[in-house]
Homo-oligomer: A and B are copies of this chain.
Amino acid sequence: MSKEIEVLEANEAFYRAFTARDADAMAALWSRSAPVACIHPGWDALDGRAEVIGSFRAILGTSSAPKVHCSVAAAHVVGETAFVTCHELVAGARFVATNVFTREEGAWRMIHHHSSPLGPAQPRVHRPEPELRS
């Protein structure tokens, strides 16, 4: 199996844990030895495993935790590290995410998640006139 497919499967596991509200499965997906961080939509960056896993336990522990479906995932592998870009569909809203992974004990474990709102009229093909704010 190619590394890209392995990474895409690890990415899918993240969204399965999210949608199942399974905080233990979520915790198991994140690296235990590498430095980790997380940027939830609109939030500041969380730094370190305790803070990141704590945020997911808080989010997934509520009955209103959203189901998050992943689509158009693309894996980019660089040696033993990889990042995925994908869309997240949450209650009719569309987000775009970066998920970073590293190989640890034979498995691809997450080291970073960054999710943010996707603007309107942003098909995943080519961009029209660039209009930028950053």
Chain B, residue nearest A124 (CB): B44
Inside 8 A of A42's CB, which chain B residues have their CB? 116-119, 122, 133
For the complex, count residues of A whose C-beta is within 8 A of B: 57
**Measured CA separation A55–B81 after assembly (Å):** 25
Chain B, residue nearest A4 (CB): B35
Task: Tell whether, in the assembled complex, residue B118 and residue A44 are in contact, meaning their CB atoms are under 8 Å apart.
Answer: yes
* A46, CB-defined interface residue at 8 Å: yes
Of listed A45, A46, A119, A122, residue having the most chain B CB within 10 A = A45
Proximity bits, A91-121, B CB within 8 Å = 1, else 0: 0010111101010000000011011111100
**A66-B134, A85-B39, A117-B116 known; A126 vs B47 contact (CB < 8 Å):** yes
**A43-B122, A45-B96, A83-B112 known; A133 vs B78 contact (CB < 8 Å):** no
Inside 8 A of A20's CB, which chain B residues have their CB? none
**Measured CA separation A88–B39 after assembly (Å):** 14
Proximity bits, A34-50, B CB within 8 Å = 1, else 0: 11110111111111100
